[in-house]
Amino acid sequence: MLTRLHGGHVVDPVNGVDQVGDLYLEDGRIVAPPEGRSPDADYDVSGHVVMAGAIDIHSHIAGGNVNSARLLLPEMHRSIRARLDGTPLSTAKWSTFETGRLYAQMGFTTVVEPAVAPHHALHAHMELGDVPIIDKGALTVLGNDDFLLRALRAGESETAIADYVAQTVEATGTLGLKCINPGGAEAFKQNMRSFGLDEIVPFYGVTSRQIFQSLQRATGRVGIPHPLHLHMNNLGVAGNIETALETIDAADGLPMHLAHVQFYAYGLEGKNAFSSAGARLAAKINANKNISVDVGQVMFGDTVTISSDVLRQFNSLSGAIPKKGVIFDGDANGGGVVPYAYRISNYYNAIQWAAGLELFLLIEDPMQVFFTTDHPNGGPFTTYPDLFALLMSAELRAQWMERLPADVLEMTTLPSIKREYSLYEIATMSRAGPARLYGFEDRGRLDDGAIADVAVYKQQTDKAGMFRNAALVFKDGELVVRDGAVTRYTKGKTLRIRPGYDRAIEKRLDAYYDELYGLPRSAFDVPEAALAGKSVFAEVACRN
C-alpha cells in the first residue's frame, strides 16, 4: 500500500532537508515520489513537523537490575488506572509492554538497553522481545570479568583480546560493548570503596586505564560500529571533572562514547565544595571530535537509580529516598538499585540539573551529544519532552532557574547561555546522530530505501506537549499511533551485530568455563530457538 504524508515540514538532517514537502511510504520503506500513481492512503500533515522515528541510545529497559527495581519499588509501578484496551492482563506501569507503548506515543521507534551482563543475556533478550512496537538492541558489559583481567595480567596480545570481545558480543546478541567503572567492581570485592583511573585492581595488577584502553582498541579492531561505551570512574563524586578530562585524554584520539557525562561534570568550588564543571567538560568535548557523549540529564521528581557500578551504588545507599536498596555482588559487575528523589530545592540536585543543561547547550556539534536521562537514573524517559522544551527555550530555562536555590546560580554558567535548539538540531541529536553512532544505515533518515519509521508532531508553542503526544507514528510503514494513543501493537525487531573472530577462542573459553563453573560455555549463549518467537533478530553490518 502506498501512503503519502502531504504538506508537512520535513526535518531530515541526514539529507539536509528542512522544508515543507511530501513523504511516501510503501512496503515498510520510504520510497521516492512515484510517477503516475495515486496514494492508497493520504494524510494531510500541513502544520505538522515530520521526522524520522527517534532513537534512544541509552535507556535501562531490561535485565536483572531493572527487574530488581520493579521488585524493590512496587509503589512506583502499581497500576493507577483501568487497564488499557488491547493490552495484556499483566500490564502495569513500567512493564515491558508499557515501555513500548510510552516510547511509541512520543515518536520513538528504536531504543538501546546499554548494560547486559553476558551471563544474563538470554533473560534480557526475552524481556526485550516482550516490548511491543519499537525495535530494540543492547550492549554487552565487560571490564570487570575474570577472563579479561587474567588475559591483561598475562600480557596477552591485542588479537586475543579482540577475539574474546567479538565472541562475547556475538554470543550475547548485542550491538557492541559497554564498560562500567573498569576494574572498580572487582576492586569493591576486595573492600576498596573508591577507584581511580590509575589505581591497581587487586590480584590482577592492572589499572582502570589499561582495561578500557584494551577494550577500546578491541572494539575498533573487530569492526563494531559503536565505539566503546564507557561509564567512567568516580561517578557522582565532587571534583570528578578531573577524572573525565583525564579519561578523554586517555582515549588517545580513538573513538569512544562516554555515558551520562552530567554525573562527571562536578567541581569543588563554593562553600558546599560542589559546583558545575559543565563548561569545562563541554570545552574538552568540543576540542576532541573522537568523543561522543550522552548527558544523563537530571529531571526533578521521584526515580530510582540502577547500575552495574556496584561500588558507586553501595556508596549511595545512605542517601536512598525512601530508605531501602538492593546491592548484589555477583559475577563480574554485580549491581545495585537505590531509589532517589531529585528536588528543585536541593542545592546538589539543582547543580546537577544545571550541569546537564550546560553540556547540552555548550557542546557545539549535536552529532556529538545525545539527549538521555540515563533512564531511570536521572529521571524517567517520559521526561524527554520536557527536556526538549528546555533546550528549545531560554525563557523556559529562566523560569526554572528562578526556583533554584540562590547560591546555585553562582556555581554554573547556565544563566548566561541563550542558545536555543532548533527543530533541525533536535532531529540531529535524536535521529541522525544516534543512527550514525550505532552504524544504523536504514533508520534515522527519511530518504528512499530507509525503514518507514516516521514521527509526525503538531506544531505548537508548547514544545513539551508537542513531543509528548505525537500526532502520527508509523513503524515499518504501519500506523501505530494517532493523537498520542497507540492504535496498533506490532512486534519490533532486536538489532544485533556479528563481528568476526578466530574460532580458537571458543576452545579456550570452553576450558575456562569447565574449570571455573563446571558448566559448558554454551549454557550462557542466546540461541534464537530458546526465545520461542519472542525476538526477531535483524543484523546491523560491521565495519570490516
List the chain residues with pLDDT less than 50: none
Could you give the count of Cα atoms lying within 13 Å of 520 in the half-sphere of its Cβ? 3
pLDDT for 81 equals: 56
SS3 string, 44-86, reads: ECCCEEEEECEEECCCCCCCHHHHHHHHHCHHHCCCCCCCCCC
pTM for this prediction? 0.96
pLDDT value for 78: 63
Long-range contact set of residues 521-529: C-beta below 8 Å, sequence gap at least 24: 524/118, 524/119, 524/121, 524/122, 524/171, 525/122, 525/171, 526/121, 526/122, 526/125, 526/171, 526/172, 526/173
Q: Phi and psi at residue 336, in whole multiples of 5°? A: -150, 145
Amino acid identity, position 289 = K
531 part of a folded domain:
no
Q: What is the 3-state secondary structure (H, E, C) of 374-432?
A: CCCCCCCHHHHHHHHHHHHCHHHHHHHHCCCCHHHHHHCCHHHCCCCCCHHHHHHHHHH
- Mean pLDDT, all residues of the chain: 94
C-alpha span between 331 and 512 (Å, rounded) = 15
Q: 7 in a domain, yes or no?
A: no
Domain of residue 399, residue span? 50-78+89-495
CA separation for the pair 243, 76 (Å, rounded): 34
Q: Residue 23 falls within a domain, yes or no?
A: no
CATH number of the domain residue 144 falls in: 3.20.20.140
Q: ∠ CA 232-234-238 to the nearest 5 degrees?
A: 130
Do the domain assignments include residue 34? Answer: no
What is the reported pLDDT for 95? 85
Each residue of 146-160: pLDDT tens digit? 999 999 999 999 999
Element (H, E) at 21: strand 17-26
User: pLDDT tens digit string along 362-376?
Assistant: 999 999 999 999 999
Question: What's 542's DSSP letter?
Answer: P
pLDDT of residue 187: 93
**Residues shown for the chain:** 544
Predicted confidence at residue 466, as pLDDT, reads 97
Q: Compute the distance between CA of residue 14 and CA of residue 231 in angstroms, rounded to an integer.
A: 28
**Is 15 within the bounds of a domain?**
no
Q: Is 514 inside any structural domain? A: no
Residue 471 confidence (pLDDT):
98
Question: Is 393 within the bounds of a domain?
Answer: yes
Contacts 24+ apart (CB under 8 A), 421-424: 421/360, 421/366, 421/388, 421/391, 421/392, 422/392, 423/9, 423/11, 423/18, 423/49, 423/51, 424/11, 424/13, 424/18
pLDDT of residue 528: 79
| Overall number of domains in the chain | 1
Q: Give pLDDT tens digits for 488-529.
A: 999 999 999 999 999 999 999 999 999 998 999 888 888 877
Assess if residue 56 is contained within a domain: yes
Which region holds residue 271: left if phi is over 0, alpha if psi is between -120 and 50, else beta?
A: alpha
Q: Rounded CA gap, 82 and 198, in Å?
A: 54
Instruction: Give the per-residue pLDDT at 535.
Output: 65
* pLDDT for residue 316: 96
